[in-house]
Amino acid sequence: MCLQSGYPYAGTEYSVECFCGMEEPPQIKHLPDSSCNMKCSGNPKQLCGGYLTINVFWTGIQKFKSQEARNSSSKTGHEKAARIAYLLTVNGRASRQIKRLISILYHPSHLFYIHVDARQDYLYREMLKIEKSCKANNIKVARGEGMRHATIWGGASLLTTFLRSARQILAYQQYWDFLVNLSESDFPVKTNAQLTEFLSWNKGMNFVKSHGREVQRFITKQGLDKTFVECEARMWRVGDRKLPNGIQIDGGSDWVALSREFVEYISNPKPDTLVADLLKVFQYTLLPAESFFHTVLRNSRFCDSYVDNNLHVTNWKRKLGCKCQYKAVVDWCGCSPNDFKLEDFSRIRNTADRNLFFARKFEPVIDQRIIDRVEEWLYPERANMTVRANSYDAYWQSLYHKADLSPPIDDALLTISHSLARLSFQKLNVNFQNVRVIETTAYFRENRFTGILIFAEGDIEYRETSKLQNKYTEKIEALVYLRHNVSTNRLWLGKIHSLFVNTEYDQKEQTFRNVMGSIGPYSNPVLLYEFDDAITTPQNFSVLWIDPHGLLADVNYIHIEDGVALMGHVRPQLSDHLVIGTWHVLLVVDSLLVAKINFLVTPLSYWKNQQINKERAKEVNNMPDNTYHNTDEITKKWSNFVNLMVRQHSYEKVTENKIGSDLDQWIDGLVYEHYEIDKICNAGDQTKTKLKLQKCIDTAWSSLSPDPKADVHNLCQNY
């Protein structure tokens, strides 16, 4: 155990007590061997110290001390500039942020290898466009059998992805000195010149960040003493295990900067015994990439190249980031960093004099201002060019594209997107048919979610003469807002900052990821609330969930005390199949209705991303006769509020099995009540169009308008 923890010395005392130590005891304390006269509890044939007497053993390793990075040249003259191979392992749909990251890091002497998760079809297509646009041939995208992997948090496949990607990077003719792995949520906090100069001084070194804990505690917390198996997109814990003898265990962060020689060593298709056996161990380990590199470094000839610094600063807010949010994909509890926000900039700026070159995590959908601020700080000249663009404070992120093959898109999002496309063409007062959604995009402006963009095409008939009609395919993009469906009692105006019902609540970032607001029959809605600090405390709120039948579905209770956060969320206990239509959520204090919010549960015109058939539509879209688990006492207590909703709203139960155009009309009527189409632009060929609309490329909000922050078309030609 002492060797495993990296201690040079081990000791046994009083038959049953064991110790580890870094320093050899002084000779002046040495006692005769006869002083150690107590038999070992595990083996009576051996002696394990005595009373106040300890047997000391050398474990066979030297005292370890990580290396200090050089901050200047140790040689005369200029060092040859280090070349970097960036391994970008990316996921999700933040293609514009990835383009911005590549743009700010790009140099023709560096190599960029992009691994896109095997399930992310949209992002893969976007990255291939970047590769194609780079004539310098130093941007590569992983492709081919066995080269793209579907990874999960903590999965063994993460290490496989790294090592196979490393072999591919080594196979390219372009030489490099360091391999640096990054994700779509990383961003530099030093300039390219500063990073290159630093790595040039430290060639041959390996930059990893150790856990900083007592090793045995790290092993337990990390689950290294358990066997895990990756199966069905989950890490399953299948039992305890004993780690191999004679190996020092180490670990920490999986974001690293490794020397070429070390990368060649660990990714060799025919590895030596140490690497081969450790690969077997880490194949059945949770978070293997967080320990494999460290452990190989500590136990190999590269131990003298270990620098305890992975060049990253990470935004840990453990009260928010360690909520066991990975329980859905792993049989363990995990933590994740939070996103940097503008208020964290001073922390980033304070890294100026430290050997830190990257920070994580950044997400423009959470806060783009911090990314803008960092770029302005590093490259003022770039920022000046970008600020002049209309899109400087805008961000677009695709939610759906018609060419997507995987992962499956939410059917409610697909249903509402097609409905909004039809409603957009209706607003143009043209005779249209066969409307098709090309892309749905989330649009952010001034660091807040602004609306949804629906890029669609439809066949429109135009009368050329009194007898002849011609059919044209027209393309448009519409800017759509979610209607403000909250009403507040005048006595409570200004006391409620936010009241919103949605799905996919991110507790770590305290926001909804479902920006479309698409809620279907099988969704799990959540109410997010935020009160003003001027409200009287303590305060008790009741939350009434009333379904489209006018029935009380559930009641939640919120208790606000002095000094307690005024922001939070509640989850109702509803049935697995929600009633379709407009729901009402009432916020009540002392028998006073202080606020009401409406939200839509939409029927589905798509099922598993295909147009729904008659049998499935009957099962999904017919309203169930829900029996809720409220007691007669609760139902009676809130009957006045329920009856008020029944008087104010007409509740119509749909029993017929709608399909085709009837289903579309029903959906369009509901969607129209909850979404507002604000602007429409022309996205088609201007030489053929008949629509009298502004060109999308000339608008400030369209996804087709210029976005210099994410423009990589001329990237490789600028050097």
Q: What is the pLDDT of residue 469?
A: 67
Q: What is the mean pLDDT of each run of 10 residues along the chain (719 residues)?
A: 94 95 92 93 93 94 92 75 97 97 95 96 96 92 92 92 96 95 98 96 97 92 95 92 94 97 97 97 96 97 96 88 79 88 96 96 97 95 66 94 95 98 94 93 96 95 68 93 92 92 93 96 96 88 92 92 85 92 94 94 96 93 76 85 79 70 95 96 84 92 94 78
Task: Give the integer Cα–Cα distance in Å for 618 and 169.
Answer: 53
DSSP characters over 175-186: --SEEEEE-TTE
**Residue 655 confidence (pLDDT):** 53
Class of residue 74 by CB neighbours under 10 A (exposed 0-12, middle 13-18, buried 19+): exposed
The tokens of 707 are what?
């976005």
pLDDT tens per residue across span 120-156: 999 999 999 999 999 889 999 999 888 999 988 899 9
* Residue among 300, 278, 299, 298 nearest 289 (CA): 278
* Distance, CA of 705 to CA of 100 (rounded, Å): 16
pLDDT for 201: 95
Of 347, 323, 352, 354, give the one whose Cα is nearest residue 336: 323
Residue 73: what are its φ and ψ, rounded to 5°? -75, 135
Extract the tokens encoding 145: 């059998």
Arithmetic mean of pLDDT over the chain: 92
Query: Would you state the pLDDT for residue 335?
Result: 85
What does the pLDDT read at residue 20?
94
Question: What is the C-alpha separation between 569 and 504, in angstroms, rounded?
Answer: 12
Predicted local distance difference test score (pLDDT) of residue 389: 65
**3 state SS of 22:** coil
Helices 273-282, 292-299: axis angle to 10 degrees equals: 150
Give the pLDDT confidence score for residue 468 in this predicted structure: 60
Percent of all residues in the chain with a pLDDT value above 90, rounded to a whole number: 76
DSSP three-state, residue 33: helix
90 φ/ψ angles, rounded to the nearest 5 degrees: -120, 155
Say if CB 663 and CB 605 are below 8 A apart: yes
* Eight-class DSSP state of 93: S
Buried b (16+ CB within 10 A) or exposed e, 289-303: bbbbbbbbbbbbebb
